[in-house]
Each structure stands twice: as C-alpha cells, then as structure tokens.
Copies of this chain bind each other. A is one copy, B any other.
Amino acid sequence: MQPALYAVIMAGGSGTRFWPASRRSRPKQFLAVAGQQPMLTATRERLGALVPDERVLVVAGEHQADLVREALPGLPPENLLLEPCARNTLPCVALAAAEIQRRDPDSVQAVLPADHVIAPVAAFQSSLQAAAQVALEEQRLVTFGIKPTFPATGYGYIEVGEPLEQRADWKVHEVARFVEKPGEQRAREYQASGRFLWNSGMFVWRSADIAAALAEHAPQTWEALRDASGDGLAAAYDSVASEPIDVGVMERAERRAVIPVDYGWSDVGAWTAVADVVPADDQGNHLVGGGMLEALSAKDNIVWSDGGKLTALIGVEGLVVVRAGDAVLVCPRERAQQIKQLVERLPEDWR
C-alpha cells in the first residue's frame, strides 16, 4: 500500500507589510490579498484531492484559531495545532511532525506556507507527487527551488548540486547548499550562474526522516515538543529556540534533494507583489479586497478596497492605495517597504 500523504500548512505568520489590510489580529494568510479567497483557503484548495481533509494539518497561533476555522470550515478540529507563541518554522514543523508520527509513522508529509500564490494547480500537484516519490524512495528531505526571474535579495537561495534522477516532468537534484538572503551583487551573480534557485520554503519528506533529522539537528526542540501537550506545550514553547527549519535542519541535513520548478510562484511579500499575482485592468490597475475601483486617468496602481467600498483615483500613477477597516494608506509602490516603519510609529490599536 502506498504511504499516505499528509499536508502541514504553516499558518502562524504575522507581519505588517500588508497593513492596513493585514493587522496583528488578521495577518495576510487570512486575507484575500492575492485573489478571491483568503490565502490559507487557496493553499488548501490547491492540494485538491491529493490530500483529503483528514490529512490536512494546520499549525497557527493560539489567537488565530477562529481565523483558521473561518478560512477552512472543513478542517477536522483535531487537525488544528495551536502554538502558544511564535518560534519561527522549526518548532512549527516539529510540532506537526510529532503529531503525524503518532498518527501514521509511515506517512509522507508536504510542509507548505499558508501565504504563497502558486499556479497552475496541475503543475504544482504534479511536482508534489514527484517530490513525494523522491522522499519515499530515496529517503531524502525534498525541497522546491524556484527559477529566479530577477536578482532578488529578499529570498534565500539553494545551490543546485548533481542531478539525481527524473520523475515524470521533474528533474531532481542534490542540494549543494542553502544560502541566506544575498546582497545585490551576489544576487546578480546567483541569477547569472544558473546554478541557484530561490528557496520556496516548501518541503516534502517522510515522517520518519523529518523526525530523525529533528532529533539529530535540533534535539532540544524535538525533545521538548515531541510529547508536549496542554500546559506542557506552553512551557515547551517558552523553552525552545526560535529558528527557521531551513537553518536549523535543511542546512545541516545530509540526504536532501531539490526539484527545480518553473511554475508561477510568489510569496506575495508586500503590496507591490500583488501586481505579479493579480491581473491588471485595462489601465494597469490591480484591484484586490472585494471592493470597487473607479479610475480616471490613473494607472499602474495597486488598490485594496474592502468589500462594498469604493476607491476613486484621478490622475495618480504607481501608488499603493489601501482602504481597510478604519484606516487608509497611500504610498508609492517603490516605498512600500516603509510601511513597516510607519506602522511602528502608530499607537498599538492601529497595528
């Protein structure tokens, strides 16, 4: 019998880059920043029939439980794993790995961020199936590498190693190394070399292999979280280090593989990225959020308008204009990185 494929959706993120649409109380994975559905909903939908509801696990913060239930009404209650506090992705992966280990130690898992945009779905599912085969048969920790379309300084990179094999449409390679976000010069070199891929932050592995890797490379966290529950979990989370799974495990592990993929992928890291994932109208304006836009000689703007609300633009170009709840933001696209700075100046209630 083919081992079961589980999905672990990491939905615990927070962030201010989509302020004011995203607030501390509703970060972007719970918003339709990149389409008609909250990103978490779209992430689950993208798995389709490949992973039935009973094998979808969602990890989120305790205060996000209602938001997860709202976005995924079909999620079995026992599949929602709540973190007492945020500790980056390594403890999140460990928490889910421990749970799946208890339920089905022979399974394979796909670990997916809740806030990525990927299309087309068929290509994504095909790559996932290929990765599951590699994980199962080769007992490798498999990751997906995105072919860089520009010299990004905001992503980590994976240097591609020796070719391993071909799985359906997908080439599989050794991982030479994981590298942290580079500077501009190095990012240009990486892109030019053809040997570097963006680290997508998506992983596929056998449950037994990630458990073993955690035990080897992050023994304190694994020990602390493996059997913790209830009050014990809160104490355990308090004690563990905050660390990304990439740094804590992937950089150190031995049996790894990367599948280069060239489908549409974006982590929609800021308002500006909406232009890459949401089609423009005939004036080049990108509208999200469910509201209306009336534009008069206004082009290349990114507009979030809450459902039922109207945004009217006259003669402006290249702006991010967000009307969300009780706040409005107006900012040139090229200055969107300053939103964080602005939010830090605001009183707590507005964040």
Which A residues fall within an 8 A CB radius of B?
Answer: 20, 294, 296-297, 305, 308-316, 319, 321, 323, 326-332, 335, 338-339, 341-342, 345-346, 350
Closest B-chain residue to A327, C-beta based? B310
Contact B327 A315 (CB under 8 A): no
Contact B330 A330 (CB under 8 A): yes
List B contacts of A335 (CB < 8 A): 297, 314-315
Contact B312 A20 (CB under 8 A): yes
Contact A316 B313 (CB under 8 A): no
Contact A331 B310 (CB under 8 A): no
Contact A345 B308 (CB under 8 A): no
List B contacts of A332 (CB < 8 A): 314-316
Contact A314 B327 (CB under 8 A): no
List B contacts of A323 (CB < 8 A): 323, 328
Contact B309 A331 (CB under 8 A): no
Q: Which of B296, B305, B313, B327 contacts A345 (CB 8 A)?
A: B296
**A21 shortest CB reach to chain B, Å:** 12
Q: A314-B338, A319-B330 are in contact. List 7 more A-B contacts (CB 8 A).
A: A305-B328, A310-B327, A312-B327, A312-B331, A314-B331, A314-B342, A323-B323
Closest B-chain residue to A315, C-beta based? B335
List B contacts of A328 (CB < 8 A): 305, 309-312, 321, 323, 328
